[in-house]
Amino acid sequence: MKILVIGSGGREHAICWKIKSFSQDYKIFAIPGNGGISFIGECIRKDISDFNGILEFFEKENINIAIVGPENPLAEGIVDFFVEKKCKIFGPNKKGAKIESSKCFAKEFMKKYKIPTADFQIAESFDEGIKMIEKRKTPYVIKYDGLAAGKGVRIIENFEDGKKYLEEIFIKRIFKGEPKIVIENCLFGKELSYLIFTDTQTYIPMVPAKDYKRVFDGDLGPNTGGMGCYSPPFYFDERLEEEIKKKIVEPTLKGLQKENIDYRGVLYFGLMITKEGPFVLEYNVRFGDPETQVILPRMEGDLVEVIESIIEGSLNKIKIKWKEEKSLCVILASKGYPGEYEKGKEIKNIDKVKDVILFHAGTKIENGKILTDGGRVIGVTGIDKDMRKLRKKVYKAVETIEFEGKHYRKDIGIEE
C-alpha cells in the first residue's frame, strides 16, 4: 500500500515512522518531507498549497491514501478537493477545519453548545479593541482569529502591551488575512492536550499529553509551536477523563452533527484544567506537534487501519490499545526561535544516540550531511515505565546531538 503524508515537520515524521514501524510493506511518500523522513520514505519537492500538483502526483503514483499533517491545507480545503475527485484523504473538510482556522467561530460554537471556555469578546477593528481593553482587568488574552502557527496568542499584563498587540494586528497587519480578534479572560491551571480520532459519529480517545509552549524554562519567553511534551501528565486520572468526555468531547461532537459538519480526522482539544474543572482553550483539527511525537510511540497496532476506518465512517469497528509506558519528547531548536534564526548548521553525533527515537522537524540532507532547516530542528523522544530513567536517557541524547546555536528546555517532564 502507498501512503502520501503532506507536511514537513516532526509531526509528519512521527506519522511516517508509526506507519513504517508497523509494516515495512507500506511505501511512504512525503510532500515536501524533511531530512529524517527521507530515510524511510521518498520526499517530493512540491508546495503543500499546490493542490493540483499534489493530486497529480497522487494519481500518477497510484497512491492509496493521503494524510494531511498541518492545518493550512485543511483550512484551505484540500480534503474537499480530493473528495470531489474521489481520492482517499485523511482530515476534516474546510467546514470542519473552521473550528481551528477561526478562533471567533470556535468561541461562538462553544458558547452555543455550552462547552466550558473563558468568557470572551470579539473585536473587528483597532478602535473596537481599544474600547474593550480599556475596561478589562489584567491579565487577559488576545487571540488573532486566523491561523498563526501557534504564535497568535498573547497574554496581556498591562494596557500598553494590549494596545501594542492591537496595533500589530490591525495596523501593521503582522498576520495574513482579515484582522479580527478574540479578547478573553485568562484561565489559570494546568494545560492538557486531549486528542481523539473521530468520524463524527464515533470517537476513540488517544492518550493525553502535556505540551510546553514557552521557549524558556519555567514557562518564560514567547510562545512557540511547542518545545517539548510528555505523556501521560502527572495530574491526569480517570475522573478527569470522564469529565472531559462528558462536558467537552461529546457536546463538541453533538454540536458538529447539529451544524451538519461531517468531521473525519483528528480533533485536538487544548484544555486548561482549572479548580472549576476543564475548560477549552482552543480546538485544533489535526495531530498536535509535538504531541504526536509522544502519543504515537505509545500506540499499538496499525495507524493506517484506523485512518481508513475514519475515512469510511466505520470507526465503531476499531479498538486501539495503548502502551503503559510513559513517553517524553524534548525539542532541539535553532538559536533565536521563535524569532529569526539561521539555517544550514551541520547536525553532528546523531549516529551516537541510543535508546531514543529522533523525529526530524527542520532538517535537510545536503552532500551527505544533515543540516538545520527550521526553527524546531529535532524532537528527541523516549519511552519507559520510569519517568526518572526516561528523562535521563532523553536528556543524555539531547546533550549528545550537536549543532551551532542548539537551544532546548531543561524542565520537560518535571513533576509540577
Q: 298-349, pLDDT tens digit by residue?
A: 999 999 999 999 999 999 999 999 999 999 999 999 999 999 999 999 999 9
**Domain C-terminal end among 286, 317, 348:** 317
170, 171, 176, 180: CA torsion to nearest 10: 10
Domain count of the chain? 4
**Domain C-terminal end among 185, 209, 226:** 185
**Assigned domain for 218 exists:** yes
This prediction's pTM:
0.95
DSSP β-bridge partners for residue 183: 121, 142
Are the beta carbons of 304 and 191 closer than 8 angstroms?
A: no
Residues 163 and 217 occupy one common structural domain: no
CATH number at residue 374: 3.90.600.10
Edge to edge, the sheet with strand 2-7 lists 42-43, 27-32, 2-7, 65-68, 89-90
Cell numbers linked to 261: 459538519
Residues 174 and 207 occupy one common structural domain: no
Query: pLDDT band at 222, cuts 50/70/90?
Result: confident
Residues 358 and 243 occupy one common structural domain: no
Is residue 180 predicted with pLDDT exceeding 80? yes
Percent above pLDDT 90 for the chain: 95
Q: Which amino acid is at 30?
A: A
What span, in angstroms and rounded, lies between the C-alpha atoms of 181 and 110?
Answer: 16
Structural domain boundaries, residue 336: 326-400
Q: Comparing C-alpha atoms, which of 127, 120, 185, 124 is closest to residue 156?
A: 185
**Domain C-terminal end among 157, 185, 213:** 185
**Assigned domain for 152 exists:** yes
Scored b (16 or more CB within 10 A) or e, 24-42 reads: eebbbbbbbbbbbbbebbe
Position 223 scores a pLDDT of 85
**Assigned domain for 153 exists:** yes
What span, in angstroms and rounded, lies between the C-alpha atoms of 192 and 56?
Answer: 39
Residues 312 and 385 occupy one common structural domain: no
Residues 125 and 75 occupy one common structural domain: no
Residues 309 and 339 occupy one common structural domain: no
What span, in angstroms and rounded, lies between the C-alpha atoms of 106 and 197?
Answer: 19
**Assigned domain for 208 exists:** yes
**Assigned domain for 98 exists:** no
Position 131 scores a pLDDT of 94
